[in-house]
Chains A and B, each alone.
Chain A
């Protein structure tokens, strides 16, 4: 007896696994010095991405098995993804403001568009799917 439709669970599980693995790779790259402008080196920022990855990956097995606990980790992972995505969007705004105030000489949207922002955008459909599935959960 599963808590929700196992077919939907598998789709969400695969999506979460992909998101989790990408977060993990990005986090490790950031921890070890980054790669160009797109993935800047940031020890603690990278560790934060690794923790988000762990949260997503923790829920995969249960989601595949149709256990509602798996969805908790996917929703929790998305929550963290949103916190960091919004944080870096705010920081991008702050950098733009610094440029307008003449405190910095250049402002590059590309350099400020940190992986946490695009990963947040990529995880939005996952959250939508997982949230939809929580409505079907029965004990």
Chain B
């Protein structure tokens, strides 16, 4: 049928459906005569067959430029504050173990994560502006054609976009997808959409290794995540969940000028999750990491010789797994603890390198822990490998089975190794070290 019609029959059906809706609207709704609305005008451009997707990508790139570059001075301010606080604690607390705990553990560890509050809030602010303006629904509409061809349902796009904030509510949002197969595919690929918790890792590594191109490096991670999600959806559609996605009809709201109050409220609603995590799971993990990095106290000389610590032992035991990528034991530890919460990757480096928040990136480079190639592969690994514990829990709740969370962890880990390996392999072929 596709050959005869020259187009997928489902796409033609969807187009006919829209035509029918337009005819009914024409006969049932009386518009102000001759009035050409602002929404009509912008839709003509943003929903354009050829320009729609490039415009979406360009706007997404602008969001990440804003997120990365505009938040820089605010990050410096937070860094300076925690540096000052850590110095105060180190100088003012007589007990060396307590001083180490407060200065290195709390101020260094939790502080190194809180430094990323500005870019995370900027990202959520930019997404809130796009959402409140009515553009995000257009993006779903524009992407539907591509997504349908690749086996994803158009409605999957909204949970995928929500995944930029946090994968947990995004996975819960898949409840709006009626077809069970479409819903399962959307749940399984959602962890590939880069959540806010991964942003600190990209900003840290990208900022340290890519200089002026850091914003583009961060943007490329988000594009890589979307591309992999689409690829995996296609694979799942052809194997585990055979069939065609259900047709997609979407009501587009009018474009509106977002109000500052609503945009800030939306930003706060999403951003506060990050602050809550910093005060709960990240705090607990950082305390555990501090303990493992300074004990045995005598052998590490009060945390001075980290090579003798428990965490170094753990890192060196698992490091051979990551050795082909050129990653050392500290990176191996960061990957393992990142399973609990991705932000912890940054805190791990702050703790293990024993530097202030402001110097973590520079120290990563000066110690030769990463080259641009191995750093980029590491960013990709953090994007793809096992999602955080809370996301695994959400997949379990939404699928009502342990089979799918386990499957997700396995396929994502394999994919992370494959993609990072490809980045390293292709990079080396191109002459990068």
Contacts and interface: CB of A to CB of B under 8 A. Distances in A.
Interface in A83-119: 83-84, 87, 90-91, 93-94, 97-98, 101, 103
Contact of B62 (A83, A94, A97, A138): A83
Contact of B216 (A44, A58, A71, A90): A44
A83 B77 contact: no
Given A98-B73, A101-B80, 15 more contacts: A51-B54, A58-B51, A68-B36, A72-B45, A73-B45, A75-B41, A76-B41, A76-B46, A79-B45, A91-B66, A93-B70, A94-B69, A101-B73, A103-B73, A103-B76
A51 B58 contact: yes
A42 B214 CA distance: 11
A77 B42 CA distance: 10
A97 B69 CA distance: 11
Contacts of B46: 76
A48 interface: yes
B59 interface: yes
Interface of A is mostly: helix
Contact of B44 (A72, A93, A103): A72
B219 interface: yes
Given A44-B216, A54-B54, A58-B51, A72 B41 contact: yes
Interface of B: 33-34, 36, 40-42, 44-46, 48, 51, 54-55, 58-59, 61-62, 65-66, 69-73, 76-77, 80, 212, 216, 219
Contact of B51 (A54, A69, A83, A97): A54
Contacts of A55: 45, 51, 55
B36 A134 contact: yes
Nearest to B255: A79
Most buried by A among B61, B69, B73, B212: B73
A31 B143 CA distance: 26
Contact of A87 (B42, B55, B66): B66
B34 A138 contact: yes
A43 B216 contact: yes
A137 B46 CA distance: 20
A54 B50 CA distance: 10
B42 A72 contact: yes
B58 A75 contact: no
Contacts of B77: 101
Given A48-B61, A68-B36, A134-B36, A94 B73 contact: yes
Given A58-B51, A139-B34, A48 B44 contact: no
B73 A69 contact: no
Contacts of B54: 51, 54
A16 interface: no
A113 B415 CA distance: 42
Contacts of B72: 94, 98, 103
Contacts of B51: 51, 54-55, 58
The 6 A-B residue pairs whose C-beta atoms are closest, nearest first, are: A76-B45, A97-B73, A72-B44, A138-B34, A72-B41, A51-B58
A54 B54 CA distance: 10
Contacts of B80: 101
A79 B44 contact: no
Given A90-B66, A98-B72, A48 B36 contact: no
A79 B51 CA distance: 14
A126 interface: no
A48 B61 CA distance: 8
Contacts of A52: 58
A79 to B, nearest CB: 7
A44 B45 contact: no
Most buried by A among B34, B55, B76: B55
Contacts of B66: 87, 90-91
Contacts of A48: 58, 61-62
B76 A91 contact: no
A51 B55 contact: yes
19 contacts: A42-B216, A45-B65, A51-B54, A51-B58, A55-B45, A68-B36, A69-B44, A75-B41, A76-B55, A87-B62, A91-B65, A91-B70, A93-B70, A94-B70, A94-B71, A97-B73, A98-B73, A134-B36, A139-B34
B76 A75 contact: no
Interface in A56-71: 58, 68-69, 71
